[in-house]
Amino acid sequence: MIGRLFRWVVLIGFTVVTIVPFLWLVMSSFKTNAEIFAGPFELPSKWSLDNYTSALDAHPILVFLRNSFVIAAFSALVTIAASLLASYALLHKFVLSRLAYLYLMFGILLPVNAFITPIFFLVRWSGLYNSVWGVGLVYAGIFFPTGFLIIKVYVDTIPHELLEAARIDGASYHAIFRRIVVPLSVPGVVTAGIFLMMLAWNELLFASILTQDESSQTVQVGVRYFLTTYAAQYPQAFAATVMAIVPPVLVYVFLSNRVIAGMTAGSVK
Amino acid sequence: MSNRRHAYLYLAPGAALVTLFLVGPMVALIYLGMTRWVGVGTPEFVGFANYRQLVEDPSFRQAVGNTIKWAAVGVFIHTPLCLLVALILARQPRFWKFFRTVFFLPSVISTTAIAFLWYFILHVDLGMLNKTLEVVGLGSLTRAWLFDPSTALISTQLPFIIYIGFGMVLLMTQISTIPAEVYEAAVLDGASTLRQELSITIPLIRRGIALQCLFVIAYALRAFEYPFIMTSGGPGDRTTNLSFYIYRQMMTANQYGLAAAAGVVTLVLGAAMVAAVFVFLNRAERA
């Protein structure tokens, strides 16, 4: 009895601390400045989108959102392509395959934030500073071990007989990759894709050191403008925060099981 | 061309990514850490002078201490909470799927947005926390949570502590691999649920718990958004951690050599904490 009560207290307690802050945020994003400073749980006097339109006028949020999307999609694509190729190569054992595997997994636990200095200069010297492609490539690199781990698990489940049969039929090394490995890895690609895009979408540190203006800044970087330059414009800042949150939450609402599976896929072993 | 030659060709893109963005930067980091450099001209080799300077810098010492506190809070507060909820939901009580979906929600939201949200919640004038305390008659407890030296650090860690979704799902997955028969004898003996969790479930998922600790430690070394957005490392350096310290040395002080040396310390500290987890796991395996 006490056990059951305790269970429900825990579950409801965590539900409250998880949900209430977000509800408060959304509600506040519709309030006027005066209302925000008044009661925390009173409904806004009118539900208008004024805060949202003025936030969109103040800073190019839509451009930030587009940059975030381009960077997330590009980096996920590069990581997935490289992971598929490498996983296929490692299906066949050869002299250095174990070493190659360890090399590719190198960095899975590295605190990559420690690398901002060298990576900053690498990107600057390569001429990709302040460009979505620079940020995208860096993400593809630092998130590669994570993506590779997920993809490899799927590629490894392809039955060897299938590859062997194709080879006997005269399919070349490349043809087997294109016609068997890639199609059969689609579920893994989707899982890794969701995870990698979320990682890239949510990253802040590299995005802020590698970019300079709205041509390449992501929504995570851009949203900070509302705190630094519009210190008094809390309603706008609330609205901007909501806009930064909405895209991944929408994906989650429709695909929650896949997202949960994708985000924890690398950790099940 | 033989298959082996093809294999190297297929490995090349992945190897290039790892070399360019992980291995190369690590080598460069170690070298840069032994130079004095403001970003232009040639780096001047100074040996271990940067490390000496770091050790003498109170901000840096505070940053190391705070990073260790992030890891400690993750391992000793956050992870037990993840475990508690995972144990409850793994028994599939009513609405368990709903709870799982809700608890995981913050994991898909950027840390930046969460840091913003909690900056507002803890805000002295408009924050939900102070307003709520006033409404329920605990007005005396209200304070500027993020600016009060005694509460600043824990306030920046609060969202990290209570958003348990990721660790919860990780541990639930581990629990789900335990076959039901394992519990049969215990149930026949009349062992309570608590007893079963303590002497069957937890020992069986010790590797999952160790993995969760590794993730949490990796996060502690990476944590940047909370101090950056909520406090800018202040008051004083109360909330400065290694990630934020490196960022500041680099972006505001242009001390690239010093920033790199701090990066090397981060790597070493990370390796030491990971090693500690393995030592504990080993001991648990033998016991």
pLDDT in tens, A83-133: 999 999 999 888 888 999 999 998 888 889 999 999 999 999 999 999 999
Determine which of A84, A267, A269 to mutate to test the interface with B (most B C-beta atoms within 10 Å): A267
Q: How many CB atoms lie within 10 A of CB B206?
A: 15
Same domain for A104 and A3, yes or no, is no
Q: What is the reported pLDDT for B6?
A: 87
What's the DSSP call for residue B122? T
Domains of chain B: 49-286 (1.10.3720.10)
Q: What is the pLDDT of residues B154-168, one digit of tens each?
A: 999 999 999 999 999
Cβ–Cβ below 8 Å for B14 and A260: no
DSSP B42: P
User: A159 with A71, same domain?
Assistant: yes
- Asked which of B17-21, B56-60, B134-138, B206-210 is least confident by mean pLDDT, the reply is B134-138
Phi, psi at A156, each rounded to 5°? -65, -20
**What is the total count of domains within chain A?**
2
A81 shares a domain with A9: no
Of A118, A245, A268, the CB nearest to B109: A245
Q: Which residues in A lie closer than 8 A to residue B126 (C-beta atoms)?
A: 36-37, 234
For residue B1, the model assigns a pLDDT of: 47
| Among chain B residues, CA nearest to A10 | B85
Among B276, B38, B128, which Cα is nearest to A121's? B38
Q: Are residue A166 and residue A262 in the same domain, yes or no?
A: yes
Are the CB atoms for B200 and B182 separated by under 8 Å? yes
Contact across the interface for B15 and A103, Cβ inside 8 Å: yes
Question: How many residues are given for chain B?
Answer: 287
Among residues 224-243 of chain A, which lie with CB inside 8 Å of chain B? 224, 227, 234, 237-238, 241
Q: Which of B10, B28, B162 sits opposite A17 (nearest CB)?
A: B162
Which ipTM was obtained for this model? Answer: 0.90
Residue type, B83: L
Q: Which two tokens stand for residue B95?
A: 């609405």
112-141 of A, contacting B, C-beta below 8 A: 112-122, 137-138, 140-141
pLDDT at A248: 86
Is B108 close to A251, i.e. CB distance below 8 A?
Answer: yes
B249-269 CB burial, b ≥16 within 10 A, e <16: bbeeeebbbbbbbbbbbbbeb
Residue B242 has pLDDT above 80, yes or no: yes
Same domain, A27 and A141: no
pTM for the structure as a whole: 0.91
Query: Minimal Cα distance from A263: which residue of B?
Result: B166
Residues of chain A above pLDDT 70, percent = 96
Chain A (158-217) residues lying within 8 Å, Cβ to Cβ, of chain B = 173-174, 177, 198, 201-202, 204-205, 209
Q: How far is B92 from chain A (nearest CA, A)?
A: 12
| Whole-number pLDDT of residue B204 | 93
Option in A94, A117, A148 nearest B250 (CB):
A117
Q: How far is B141 from chain A (nearest CA, A)?
A: 17
Q: How many CA atoms within 13 Å lie on the side-chain side of A104?
A: 31
DSSP class of B44: E
- pLDDT tens for chain A, 269 residues long, are 678 899 999 999 999 999 999 999 999 899 988 888 877 778 888 888 889 998 898 889 899 999 999 999 999 999 999 999 999 999 988 888 899 999 999 888 888 999 999 999 999 999 999 999 999 999 999 999 999 998 998 999 999 899 999 999 999 999 999 999 999 999 889 989 988 998 999 999 999 999 999 899 999 998 888 877 645 678 888 898 898 888 889 888 888 888 887 777 666 54
Claim to verify: residue A125 and residue A12 sit in the same structural domain? no
Same structural domain, A210 and A241? yes
Question: From the CA of B11, how many Å to the nearest CA of chain A?
Answer: 5
The pLDDT, as a whole number, for residue A269 is 46
Give me the half-sphere count of Cα atoms (radius 13 Å) on the Cβ side of residue B116. Answer: 34
According to the 3-state scheme, what is the secondary structure of chain A? CHHHHHHHHHHHHHHHHHHHHHHHHHHHCCCCHHHHHCCCCCCCCCCCCHHHHHHHHHCCHHHHHHHHHHHHHHHHHHHHHHHHHHHHHCCCCCCCHHHHHHHHHCCCCCCHHHHHHHHHHHHHHCCCCCCHHHHHHHHHHHCHHHHHHHHHHHHCCCCHHHHHHHHHCCCCHHHHHHHHHHHHCHHHHHHHHHHHHHHHHHCCHHHHHCCCCCCCCCHHHHCCHHHHCCCCCHHHHHHHHHHHHHHHHHHHHHHHHHHHHHHHHHHCC
Nearest to A113 among B107, B131, B224 (CB): B224
User: A22: domain range?
Assistant: 1-48
The CATH number linked to A245 is: 1.10.3720.10
Burial B21-30 (b: 16+ CB within 10 A, else e): bbebbbebbe
- Domain co-membership, A217 together with A140: yes
Radius of gyration of chain B (CA): 23
Asked if residue A259 and residue A205 are part of one domain, the reply reads: yes
Check: CB of residue B87 under 8 Å from CB of residue B197: yes
Are A147 and A94 in the same domain?
yes
> Is-contact B257 B43, C-beta < 8 A?
yes
Residue B39 has a pLDDT of 80
Tell me which chain B residues have a C-beta less than 8 angstroms from the C-beta of A116: 246-247, 250, 259, 263
Contact between residue B211 and residue B228 where contact means Cβ atoms under 8 Å apart: no
My answer on whether A2 and A91 are in the same domain is: no
Q: Write out chain B residues lying below 8 Å of A267, CB-based.
A: 170, 173, 211, 215
What residue type is assigned to position A5 of the chain?
A: L
- Which one-letter amino acid corresponds to residue A152? K
Three-state DSSP state, B35: strand
Pair (A211, A159) in one structural domain? yes
Distance CA B147, CA B144 (A): 5
